[in-house]
Every structure is written in structure tokens, then in C-alpha cells.
């Protein structure tokens, strides 16, 4: 269990992020077209998982746009934005914001992804959705970088995440 804050108030996750050097847990998440994807769908590429509570919040939108801008010129890696949002809402967000270079993925079918990655918030007003985190995987799905953002209202460390992805 990890402690993070929401507006300075402590809340907790169900566990900890996967350890650097470990094999990333596989997942089944839902794309905006309602198709399911897993890690195998992005094989042989480095992956940055931008885990956010909801694209319908300012910081989540900012981080998605920032990683989308990076992805424009880096086809050697894939950016996955994982949230509790319905795929329809994620699709509307991407259309409205011109997001074309990242994959928005939903945990709408179950919260196993959040549980397996240790980011499921278990108490407080956001219980049941994910904390803000970044996990970078190599092409073989080994964890090479993690960040659990200590305050949900803060942005992740973009420079460190993108350096790990490079």
C-alpha cells in the first residue's frame, strides 16, 4: 500500500508500482472502438503507460497532450494513456483536443489493471479509480522506470519518463 495525497489529504493505493527490472503485468484494456488490447498488441516497442484518474481533469489532460506531442516524432515507442473513463468519453476528448499520437485505454470492464499495477485508490473520494503514475517498459515488457506522483494534482516528471523511454 502506498500513500499519496489529494489536495494535501492522504489517500492510499492498493499496493506499489511494479519494481524496476520486473516483468510488467499483462492487461486487458478497452480502446475507443471498444476493442480489447493487451501488452502483446504493442510487442517489440518500448511503452510509456501514462496512468491517470480521468481525462476529464486538467492535469490528466495536460499530461496526455504533453505525451501526445512527444509521440509525434517518436514512432519507435508507444504511449498508452490508461484511465477509468469510458472509451466514448476518451474518444470525445481526443477529437476535441487533436490527440492522435497516443492510445487512450479504459479500465471500464474491470479494475484489474489498477490492482496489478498497484495504483487502485482504496479510500477517499477517488476510491475505485487509479492514482496518477507513469510506468515505462522496454520492448520485452520489463519495467525500466516508474513514478507514482505523490500528489494527484501534480504533473508527472515528464523529463525523467521521456529519458527512460529514449
Report helix, strand and coil shares of the chain as percent, to nearest 5.
25, 30, 45
Q: Rounded to whole angstroms, how far apart are CA atoms 94 and 79?
A: 14
Identify the active-site residue in 60, 136, 137, 164: 60
Residues 6+ apart with CB under 8 A from 36: 28, 29, 30, 109
Retrieve residue 148's grid coordinates. Answer: 507514482
| Annotation says 94 is catalytic | no
> Under 8 Å CB-to-CB from 13, ≥6 apart: which residues?
1, 2, 4, 118, 119, 120, 121, 122, 131, 148
Distance separating the N- and C-terminal Cα atoms of the chain: 30
Catalytic residue set: 60
Amino acid at each position: 500500500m502506498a500513500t499519496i495525497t489529494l489536495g494535501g489529504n492522504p489517500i492510499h493505493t492498493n499496493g506499489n508500482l511494479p519494481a524496476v527490472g520486473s516483468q510488467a503485468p499483462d492487461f486487458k484494456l478497452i480502446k475507443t472502438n471498444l476493442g480489447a488490447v493487451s501488452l502483446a498488441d504493442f510487442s517489440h516497442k518500448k511503452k510509456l503507460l501514462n496512468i491517470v484518474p480521468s481525462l476529464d481533469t486538467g492535469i490528466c489532460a495536460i499530461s496526455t497532450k504533453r505525451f501526445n506531442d512527444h509521440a509525434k516524432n517518436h514512432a519507435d515507442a508507444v504511449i498508452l494513456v490508461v484511465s477509468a473513463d469510458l472509451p466514448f468519453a476518451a474518444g470525445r476528448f481526443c477529437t476535441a483536443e487533436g490527440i492522435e499520437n497516443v492510445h487512450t485505454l479504459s479500465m471500464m470492464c474491470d479494475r484489474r489493471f489498477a490492482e496489478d499495477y498497484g495504483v487502485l485508490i482504496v479510500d477517499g473520494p477517488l476510491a475505485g479509480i487509479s492514482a496518477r503514475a507513469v510506468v515505462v517498459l522496454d520492448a520485452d515488457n520489463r519495467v525500466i522506470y516508474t513514478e507514482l506522483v505523490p500528489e494527484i494534482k501534480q504533473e508527472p516528471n515528464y523529463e525523467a519518463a521521456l529519458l527512460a523511454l529514449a
